[in-house]
Structure 1
Amino acid sequence: MAPSDDTHGERRAWLRLRQADRTALTESGYERTWLPGEILALEGSPPSSMYVILEGWVKITARNYRGEDAPLAARGPAEIVGELSPISQLSRSATITALDKVRTLVVPHDRLLNLLQRHPGIARELLRTTGIRLQQSDRLRLESGGSDLTQRLAAVLLELAVQYYPDWTNVERASLNVTQEDLASYARVSRRTLLRGLDDLKRLSVIATGRHRVTITEPHILRDLAAGNPPPP
């Protein structure tokens, strides 16, 4: 059993694990396929399972104080999600929803806890993954606070691109599965303001947009804009 996309190799949590640890998790779990829009884990629900994404993408959201579902992250092949609740034995802190057809390895929480005692390499990797994601979350919050709309939006798109393409420096074109509503929430702007910012980036030929998708066509220019450098003439 292997994720369908190993382009970014060891930058993904599942592929950083030793083969023996991956085998132990595989033998302790089972495969399940989810259709677009299906919920893998619901915020507030009891701890249940950890998921390894083998194919497809999921969106992770949490309810804010205004009662809105705020996007937190997107995760794809070879990523591990939903691991904190089974370990902490606390209720789910976020909802995990399939963005497209998703195939997962499901590891029930009791089997996961048993594995963590017998395979310390799994525990170390889950701890490392948590640290990486905390850093990503901090960066996203930092970049969404910029005052200039173009710079802010460029920076947010770059931070999201890192989630989709961990080896971002070698990517020449990046396609992000994200809605305008979610992108506005990431950037902390209204949808109207977001559309204005996207139009500016499209005029610079930096991005292209489609239904629930933003494609970064000129990553090097987007990086310059995120750094506050003026656009090319």
Structure 2
Amino acid sequence: MLHQTVKNYSVISHIADSNLVARGDSASPKEVIFHILQDNKIDTEVLDIGFGGGNLGEMIRRNPDTSHWSVDGIDGFLPNCHNQNLFGKKLYRNVWHGLAQSMPSDMFSKYKIICLLDVIEHLTLDTARWLLRTLLTGMGEDSYLFISTPLWFYPQGNIQSGDLEEHLIGVPASSMMALMPYMYAVNAPLVGGFVLGKRSLDFIEFFHPTTDKNFSYERGMAVTQAVGMQCTSGHLYKL
């Protein structure tokens, strides 16, 4: 179930005191967001799933070419949705507390870009497959899904109670490239960012994450090289 805490840039829900700290950032190549559209000057609505500390929203809104974009966020960790300091900056138009899988599927169609940055590896295998299919199905015909994930089983556990930080799956590069991305970039340590379109639905059956914690960085790199991906940090590759 979703609970809205910010509406039209204003906090509409009680902000609870907590010893838990708002947190969550992505090692993904977030700058790819500025290269997805042919014209960044058009009015654009963005959904930031698992917005964490709000770094993506701030990056978008601080860039003069995209400062007019409207960014909405959803996060399953309550302190992130009660981050008064973040909301005071008026970066996120609407914010919901809850899981993306609780969002009505028809909501996805309103967004030009849906961002799922370093989120899918925190889900179970079945939920990850379901969510990816749901996002691709629900988004508009001319919309984009910007997804990032470590291309190996990056070991990470929870830091705070309920923070959803534990990694449950690893995603091989072969799974992501089989989805026919329009572009990709890779940051250290082997974290790939991929831009998908509606056409990826035709290849969704090839998305095969693994629960094998022995899927190491070295094995992930071997798969990445085998499928011909380039791994130079800071470079964007268009396909």
TM-score (norm 1): 0.30
Structure number with the higher helix fraction is 1
Tell me which structure has the larger Cα radius of gyration: 1
TM-score (norm 2): 0.29
